[in-house]
Amino acid sequence: MNVLLLSLATIVGSTEATSFTEKACLERGFDPPNLSCETCRLLEESATLQSLQSKHNSHNQYDPIDIVAECHSCCQSHKFNPTLHPGSSLRGKYRFALLTYNKNTLDQYGEIKDFIERDLDDVLSFKGDTRFQAMASEKSTLDADTMRMLMMMGGGLQGLGGPPKLMLFDNQTKGKGEAWSEEDESEAVEVIKLKGWKREDLKDMLLTLLPNA
Protein backbone atom coordinates (compact mmCIF):
# COMPACT_ATOMS: atom_id res chain seq x y z
CA MET A 1 0.00 0.00 0.00
CA ASN A 2 2.88 2.36 0.76
CA VAL A 3 4.26 1.71 -2.72
CA LEU A 4 0.92 2.63 -4.28
CA LEU A 5 0.70 5.79 -2.17
CA LEU A 6 4.20 6.74 -3.27
CA SER A 7 3.19 6.21 -6.88
CA LEU A 8 0.19 8.44 -6.39
CA ALA A 9 2.33 11.15 -4.89
CA THR A 10 4.64 11.18 -7.88
CA ILE A 11 1.86 11.67 -10.43
CA VAL A 12 1.26 15.36 -10.89
CA GLY A 13 -1.62 16.60 -12.99
CA SER A 14 -4.75 18.71 -12.96
CA THR A 15 -8.14 17.02 -12.60
CA GLU A 16 -9.28 19.21 -15.48
CA ALA A 17 -6.75 17.75 -17.91
CA THR A 18 -8.41 16.24 -20.97
CA SER A 19 -5.43 14.91 -22.89
CA PHE A 20 -1.70 14.31 -22.47
CA THR A 21 1.15 13.90 -24.87
CA GLU A 22 2.64 10.42 -25.09
CA LYS A 23 5.67 11.66 -23.15
CA ALA A 24 3.45 12.98 -20.34
CA CYS A 25 1.56 9.69 -20.20
CA LEU A 26 4.79 7.72 -19.94
CA GLU A 27 5.99 10.02 -17.16
CA ARG A 28 2.78 9.18 -15.28
CA GLY A 29 3.38 5.47 -15.67
CA PHE A 30 0.93 4.83 -18.52
CA ASP A 31 1.83 3.13 -21.82
CA PRO A 32 -0.52 4.80 -24.37
CA PRO A 33 -0.07 2.42 -27.35
CA ASN A 34 -1.02 -0.60 -25.21
CA LEU A 35 -3.30 0.88 -22.55
CA SER A 36 -6.92 -0.25 -22.78
CA CYS A 37 -9.63 2.10 -21.52
CA GLU A 38 -11.12 -0.96 -19.81
CA THR A 39 -8.10 -0.93 -17.52
CA CYS A 40 -8.92 2.65 -16.55
CA ARG A 41 -12.44 1.58 -15.61
CA LEU A 42 -10.94 -1.06 -13.33
CA LEU A 43 -8.97 1.69 -11.56
CA GLU A 44 -12.22 3.62 -11.09
CA GLU A 45 -13.73 0.63 -9.28
CA SER A 46 -10.77 0.24 -6.90
CA ALA A 47 -11.80 1.35 -3.42
CA THR A 48 -8.18 1.19 -2.26
CA LEU A 49 -7.02 3.51 -5.03
CA GLN A 50 -9.84 5.97 -4.40
CA SER A 51 -9.05 6.02 -0.67
CA LEU A 52 -5.34 6.67 -1.23
CA GLN A 53 -6.09 9.34 -3.81
CA SER A 54 -8.50 11.11 -1.46
CA LYS A 55 -5.90 11.03 1.31
CA HIS A 56 -3.27 12.51 -1.02
CA ASN A 57 -5.61 15.27 -2.27
CA SER A 58 -6.72 16.22 1.24
CA HIS A 59 -3.09 17.03 2.06
CA ASN A 60 -2.27 18.57 -1.33
CA GLN A 61 -5.18 20.83 -2.19
CA TYR A 62 -3.10 22.88 -4.61
CA ASP A 63 -1.67 19.84 -6.37
CA PRO A 64 -4.53 17.31 -6.65
CA ILE A 65 -4.42 14.19 -8.77
CA ASP A 66 -7.08 12.20 -10.59
CA ILE A 67 -5.59 8.89 -11.67
CA VAL A 68 -8.68 7.68 -13.51
CA ALA A 69 -9.04 10.89 -15.54
CA GLU A 70 -5.35 10.79 -16.44
CA CYS A 71 -5.63 7.13 -17.40
CA HIS A 72 -8.56 7.90 -19.73
CA SER A 73 -6.50 10.69 -21.29
CA CYS A 74 -3.83 8.15 -22.23
CA CYS A 75 -5.82 5.00 -23.11
CA GLN A 76 -6.88 3.54 -26.46
CA SER A 77 -10.57 2.74 -26.92
CA HIS A 78 -9.80 0.14 -29.59
CA LYS A 79 -7.52 -1.87 -27.31
CA PHE A 80 -8.87 -4.56 -24.97
CA ASN A 81 -7.62 -5.96 -21.71
CA PRO A 82 -6.64 -9.61 -22.34
CA THR A 83 -7.02 -10.38 -18.64
CA LEU A 84 -10.70 -9.42 -18.79
CA HIS A 85 -11.32 -11.09 -22.16
CA PRO A 86 -9.00 -14.08 -22.54
CA GLY A 87 -9.05 -15.34 -26.09
CA SER A 88 -11.08 -12.36 -27.30
CA SER A 89 -10.13 -9.77 -29.90
CA LEU A 90 -11.50 -6.55 -31.37
CA ARG A 91 -10.05 -7.45 -34.75
CA GLY A 92 -12.60 -6.82 -37.50
CA LYS A 93 -15.15 -5.32 -35.09
CA TYR A 94 -16.46 -2.80 -37.65
CA ARG A 95 -17.22 -3.33 -41.33
CA PHE A 96 -16.45 0.13 -42.72
CA ALA A 97 -14.77 3.38 -41.66
CA LEU A 98 -14.99 6.84 -43.19
CA LEU A 99 -12.49 9.60 -42.44
CA THR A 100 -13.65 13.14 -43.27
CA TYR A 101 -11.58 16.31 -43.03
CA ASN A 102 -11.66 19.99 -43.99
CA LYS A 103 -9.06 20.75 -46.66
CA ASN A 104 -8.75 24.37 -45.51
CA THR A 105 -7.93 23.53 -41.90
CA LEU A 106 -6.12 20.21 -42.29
CA ASP A 107 -2.75 21.91 -41.63
CA GLN A 108 -3.93 22.51 -38.05
CA TYR A 109 -4.06 18.74 -37.54
CA GLY A 110 -0.56 17.80 -38.64
CA GLU A 111 -0.73 14.21 -37.43
CA ILE A 112 -3.88 13.51 -39.45
CA LYS A 113 -2.38 15.27 -42.48
CA ASP A 114 0.71 13.06 -42.15
CA PHE A 115 -1.54 9.99 -41.90
CA ILE A 116 -3.32 10.94 -45.14
CA GLU A 117 -0.06 11.67 -46.95
CA ARG A 118 2.04 8.80 -45.58
CA ASP A 119 -0.19 6.02 -44.25
CA LEU A 120 -3.44 6.15 -46.23
CA ASP A 121 -2.20 4.05 -49.13
CA ASP A 122 -0.73 1.51 -46.73
CA VAL A 123 -4.05 1.09 -44.90
CA LEU A 124 -5.93 0.83 -48.21
CA SER A 125 -3.54 -1.87 -49.39
CA PHE A 126 -4.70 -4.05 -46.48
CA LYS A 127 -8.34 -3.01 -46.17
CA GLY A 128 -9.33 -1.79 -49.64
CA ASP A 129 -11.64 1.11 -50.42
CA THR A 130 -14.67 -1.07 -49.74
CA ARG A 131 -13.67 -1.05 -46.04
CA PHE A 132 -12.11 2.37 -45.59
CA GLN A 133 -12.23 5.73 -47.34
CA ALA A 134 -10.90 9.21 -46.58
CA MET A 135 -12.49 12.25 -48.18
CA ALA A 136 -12.56 16.03 -47.87
CA SER A 137 -15.77 17.27 -46.32
CA GLU A 138 -18.09 18.91 -48.82
CA LYS A 139 -19.85 20.78 -46.02
CA SER A 140 -16.94 22.86 -44.85
CA THR A 141 -14.80 23.54 -47.93
CA LEU A 142 -14.21 27.24 -48.53
CA ASP A 143 -13.25 28.64 -51.90
CA ALA A 144 -9.99 30.55 -52.29
CA ASP A 145 -11.68 33.97 -52.43
CA THR A 146 -13.53 33.37 -49.16
CA MET A 147 -10.34 32.23 -47.48
CA ARG A 148 -8.48 35.35 -48.61
CA MET A 149 -11.32 37.55 -47.39
CA LEU A 150 -11.27 35.95 -43.95
CA MET A 151 -7.52 36.36 -43.66
CA MET A 152 -7.66 40.01 -44.79
CA MET A 153 -10.29 40.70 -42.16
CA GLY A 154 -8.01 39.25 -39.52
CA GLY A 155 -10.11 36.15 -39.00
CA GLY A 156 -8.67 32.70 -38.62
CA LEU A 157 -9.88 29.42 -40.04
CA GLN A 158 -10.08 27.72 -36.66
CA GLY A 159 -13.32 25.94 -35.99
CA LEU A 160 -14.54 25.94 -39.58
CA GLY A 161 -15.82 22.42 -39.99
CA GLY A 162 -14.19 21.17 -36.79
CA PRO A 163 -11.46 18.55 -36.52
CA PRO A 164 -11.22 15.50 -38.79
CA LYS A 165 -13.72 12.77 -37.93
CA LEU A 166 -13.68 9.02 -38.15
CA MET A 167 -17.08 7.35 -38.57
CA LEU A 168 -17.30 3.62 -37.88
CA PHE A 169 -20.13 1.50 -39.30
CA ASP A 170 -21.17 -2.07 -38.57
CA ASN A 171 -22.30 -2.64 -42.18
CA GLN A 172 -20.03 -2.45 -45.22
CA THR A 173 -22.61 -0.45 -47.16
CA LYS A 174 -26.02 0.99 -46.49
CA GLY A 175 -29.12 -0.23 -48.30
CA LYS A 176 -28.77 -1.67 -51.82
CA GLY A 177 -24.99 -1.44 -51.80
CA GLU A 178 -24.93 2.35 -51.59
CA ALA A 179 -21.71 3.75 -50.12
CA TRP A 180 -21.65 5.55 -46.79
CA SER A 181 -21.02 9.32 -46.83
CA GLU A 182 -20.57 12.12 -44.30
CA GLU A 183 -24.33 12.63 -44.46
CA ASP A 184 -24.73 9.29 -42.67
CA GLU A 185 -22.98 10.34 -39.46
CA SER A 186 -26.12 9.73 -37.40
CA GLU A 187 -26.12 6.08 -38.52
CA ALA A 188 -22.51 5.44 -37.52
CA VAL A 189 -21.97 3.12 -34.57
CA GLU A 190 -19.19 5.37 -33.34
CA VAL A 191 -17.90 8.83 -34.35
CA ILE A 192 -14.45 9.88 -33.18
CA LYS A 193 -13.14 13.43 -33.41
CA LEU A 194 -9.46 13.09 -34.22
CA LYS A 195 -8.16 16.25 -32.56
CA GLY A 196 -4.93 15.38 -30.75
CA TRP A 197 -4.65 11.91 -32.29
CA LYS A 198 -1.29 10.50 -33.39
CA ARG A 199 -1.01 9.14 -36.93
CA GLU A 200 0.39 5.81 -35.70
CA ASP A 201 -2.54 5.36 -33.28
CA LEU A 202 -5.06 6.05 -36.05
CA LYS A 203 -3.33 3.59 -38.36
CA ASP A 204 -3.16 0.93 -35.66
CA MET A 205 -6.84 1.37 -34.85
CA LEU A 206 -7.93 1.02 -38.48
CA LEU A 207 -5.75 -2.04 -39.04
CA THR A 208 -7.22 -3.60 -35.90
CA LEU A 209 -10.91 -2.75 -36.16
CA LEU A 210 -11.49 -3.29 -39.87
CA PRO A 211 -11.45 -6.65 -41.67
CA ASN A 212 -8.98 -7.13 -44.47
CA ALA A 213 -10.09 -6.71 -48.05
The pLDDT value recorded for residue 126 is 94
The pLDDT value recorded for residue 6 is 35
* Listed range (36-40, 53-57, 80-84, 160-164) with the worst mean pLDDT: 80-84
Instruction: Report the predicted TM-score, pTM, of the whole model to 2 decimal places.
Output: 0.60
- Cβ contact 117:134 at 8 Å: no
pLDDT digits (tens, 9 = 90+) for 117-128: 999 999 999 999
Transcribe 116-183 into DSSP letters. Answer: IIIIHHHHHHHH-TTTEEEEE-SSSPPPHHHHHHHHHTT---TTSS-S-EEEEESSSSSGGGPPP-GG
Question: In this model, does residue 63 exceed pLDDT 50?
Answer: yes
**Which comes out higher in pLDDT, residue 193 or 117?**
117
The pLDDT value recorded for residue 10 is 37
Mean pLDDT of all residues belonging to the chain: 79
Question: In this model, does residue 151 exceed pLDDT 80?
Answer: no
The pLDDT value recorded for residue 62 is 81
**Which comes out higher in pLDDT, residue 113 or 145?**
113
**Which comes out higher in pLDDT, residue 185 or 151?**
185
Residues of the chain with pLDDT > 90: what percent? 28
* pLDDT-based confidence at residue 130 (cuts at 50, 70, 90): very high
User: Which residues sit opposite 145 in a β-bridge?
Assistant: none
Q: How would you classify the pairing of strands 132-136 and 96-101?
A: parallel
The C-alpha atoms of residue 103 and residue 65 are separated, in whole angstroms, by: 39
The pLDDT value recorded for residue 150 is 56
Q: Which amino acid is at 208?
A: T
The pLDDT value recorded for residue 121 is 96
First to last CA, the chain: 50
